[in-house]
Amino acid sequence: MTLETLSRTVPRDAAPSETPKTAAGLRKLPLDLIPPIALVEMAAVLGLGADCPAKAYGRWNWRSAPVEVETYVAALERHVLRWRAGEEIDDQTGLSHLASAMCCLALVGDAQEAGTLIDNRRGSPGVLAVMDRYDASSMPVVKPRAVAG
């Protein structure tokens, strides 16, 4: 881009145009809603897993060989529990627990789509019915306790 081209660029705060291209774009999948930080953090986690000699998983390994869903669910739960306990960064990787959790879900979804997911979910058959009984409208209102300061 030249300086002359940049000087002709419409300011960011300008009103959106009403061109056919804009109208068509509004009907497309809104990938711009995915927070860029999520993509960057996930790329760091996936890159480490793909390229780290100690791990040697390889790129797209969940597509080249079947993977069990419970392996990723267990990893997801470990990362979320550590994050909920206040640990932001995984001691083993130096990367975000949240990014690792997002990767677990992404890999399960991709493996499912690719036909390489082994569905070994060990959910309780009655858990959905129990959860449905405790929807928000049936739960008592509980006031939060004041935090001592």
User: What would the pLDDT profile of 35-62 be if each residue is shown by its tens digit?
Assistant: 999 999 999 999 998 877 766 678 888 8
The answer to whether residue 115 is domain-embedded is: yes
**pLDDT tens, position by position, 94-145:** 999 999 999 999 999 999 999 999 999 988 888 888 888 877 677 677 667 7
The answer to whether residue 102 is domain-embedded is: yes
Residue 87 in this model has a pLDDT that exceeds 60: yes
The answer to whether residue 85 is domain-embedded is: yes
Instruction: Say how many domains are in the chain.
Output: 1
Q: What is the pTM of this model?
A: 0.73
The answer to whether residue 137 is domain-embedded is: no
CB 97 within 8 A of CB 82: yes
The rounded distance, in Å, linking the Cα atoms of 95 and 89 is 5
Bridge partners of 96?
89
More confident residue, 24 or 79: 79
Give the total residue count for the chain: 149
What is the span of the domain harbouring residue 66? 35-121
In the DSSP assignment, the letter for residue 146 is P
* pLDDT bucket at 24, cuts 50 / 70 / 90: confident
